[in-house]
């Protein structure tokens, strides 16, 4: 996606809700030398992990901001690229987040969102334990205002927001019993145990039983699954694409 967008040396890039690193390193690899990459997140612990990760990977011109992605307080129109991945689908309120992202991009700059569509998260052959875990996870995301199928309406969302030349690049990944990602669904459900049990979506005992059944199914040599689809959607803010912001703070 970054290649297609054309991120190049000198670009100022912002990752809203960068978490423990997100794509900061990928952006830095393209924006250096001369560019700047800024990661913003509301979670100080994750931001520290991102700082450690990027320093270890020698992304020199990377800065970190502890803040609210929906109200950043950053200088408007000051970035060539504003990127947001998996924030609106988990924290909700996609429209205001998109508005903030657009306000931070320079005229002719790029706003890029990546969001999931869990309708594509399927196991073959199907299994009741897989279905139980996915259903429980979707209920947990809904309970906190998330939208696990946001990827389906992302293209329309960016177009309606006034972005131009909006591009759409969806992808899924196939996983077999021999792939490191085999445990993706059980591991995700396990990491959300507190939410799942605390909100009475599933009991501890049923979760334990379902995790064991699902893991047994996923370990079968002929079982495969597709990950959730990730919709990559990006577009340009109205304005002159030649208006390059080159000065660095």
Ligand X SMILES: C[S@@+](CC[C@H](N)C(=O)[O-])C[C@H]1O[C@@H](n2cnc3c(N)ncnc32)[C@H](O)[C@@H]1O
State the residues that interact with ligand X by CB under 6 A.
17-19, 22, 41-43, 46, 68-70, 85-87, 90-91
CB closer to ligand X, 27 vs 129: 27
Contact predicate 234/80, CB 8 Å = no
Least distance (Å) between residue 242 CB and ligand X: 30
Least distance (Å) between residue 73 CB and ligand X: 12
How many CA atoms lie within 13 Å of 95's alpha carbon, on the beta-carbon side? 3
Least distance (Å) between residue 91 CB and ligand X: 4
How many CA atoms lie within 13 Å of 135's alpha carbon, on the beta-carbon side? 10
CB closer to ligand X, 78 vs 223: 78
Least distance (Å) between residue 54 CB and ligand X: 13
Give the β-pairing of 62-66 and 36-41: parallel
CB closer to ligand X, 48 vs 177: 48
Distance of CA 227 to the CA centre of its chain: 14
Give the β-pairing of 229-236 and 164-171: antiparallel
CB closer to ligand X, 94 vs 245: 94
Backbone phi, psi, residue 47, to 5°: -65, -40
């Amino acid at each position: 996606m970054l290649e297609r967008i054309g991120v190049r040396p000198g670009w100022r890039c912002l990752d809203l809700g960068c978490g423990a690193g997100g794509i900061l390193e990928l952006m830095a690899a393209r924006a250096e030398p001369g560019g700047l990459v800024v990661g913003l997140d509301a979670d100080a612990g994750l931001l520290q992990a991102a700082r450690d990760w990027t320093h270890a990977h020698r992304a020199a011109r990377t800065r970190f901001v502890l803040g609210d992605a929906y109200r950043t307080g950053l200088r408007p129109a000051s970035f060539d690229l504003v990127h947001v991945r998996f924030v609106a689908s988990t924290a909700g309120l996609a429209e205001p987040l998109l508005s903030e992202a657009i306000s931070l991009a320079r005229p002719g700059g790029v706003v890029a969102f990546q969001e999931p569509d869990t309708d594509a998260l399927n196991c073959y052959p199907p299994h009741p334990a897989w279905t139980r875990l996915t259903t429980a996870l979707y209920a947990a995301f809904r309970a906190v205002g998330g939208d696990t199928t946001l990827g389906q309406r992302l293209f329309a969302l960016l177009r309606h927001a006034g972005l131009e030349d909006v591009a759409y690049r969806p992808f899924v990944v196939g996983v077999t019993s021999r792939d490191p990602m085999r445990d993706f669904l059980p591991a995700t459900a396990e990491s959300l145990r507190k939410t799942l049990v605390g909100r009475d979506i599933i009991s501890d005992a049923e979760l334990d039983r379902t995790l064991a059944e699902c893991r047994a199914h996923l370990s079968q040599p002929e079982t495969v699954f597709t990950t959730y689809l990730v919709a990559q959607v990006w577009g340009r803010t109205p304005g002159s694409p030649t208006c390059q912001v080159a000065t660095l703070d």
